Amino acid sequence: MNEAVAETYLITGLGNPGRAYRHTRHNAGFMLLDLFAEDLNLTFTRQQAHALITDGRLGGKKIILAKPQTYMNALGRSVGLLAHFYRIHPSNLLVTVDDIDLPLGSIKLLPAGGSAGHNGMRSIINHLGTQEFPRLRIGISRPPGRMDPADYVLLNFKPDELPVLIDSLDRAHHCLRLFLQEGIQAAMNCCNTPVS
């Protein structure tokens, strides 16, 4: 297929750069992108617009995967630069993001929405000037007791949580493929079901 006519999608994972944050709750979005890149035989070897990126194809679609390296509060600049450079329509931008308002093991695909208090999402909305873009939310559960959510999201997942996390990432990966292959409605119908 001609490169110029291929429909292009930008899939952005949210997380913090560096080994210290690799397995933290806030990096669930990065974890999903790593899983998806592995599935497509891609590696994050390039840098552009303050992000690690890679690209490939799924069917007739060109897919750009991006992991911004600016930390949460400023990653909207990276996403905005990439969306502008590749001329991505907001409906073709999908953000994968951790969500403390969803229980661990839950995922939810939405076509649009606010930041839900997430600094990374707030930064993206501010830089794009719209909240009308899809997001795939990965549940990480709420902090216990009176723990500050800002501290909680920087904790690693507990060993007994890992099987549940892995299962939810596998389902989110399937959802991501459905979104790209069959569209957002089909993906929402499949993915947005309660976890038993």
Would you name the residues annotated as active-site residues? 26
Q: Residue 113's Cα: distance from chain center in Å?
A: 14
Handedness of CA 151, 156, 139, 132 (dihedral sign): positive
DSSP string, 89-107: -GGGEEEEEEETTS-TT-E
* Residue 10, H or E segment: strand 7-13
CB 36 within 8 A of CB 176: yes
Helix axes 75-85 and 119-128, enclosed angle (nearest 10): 40
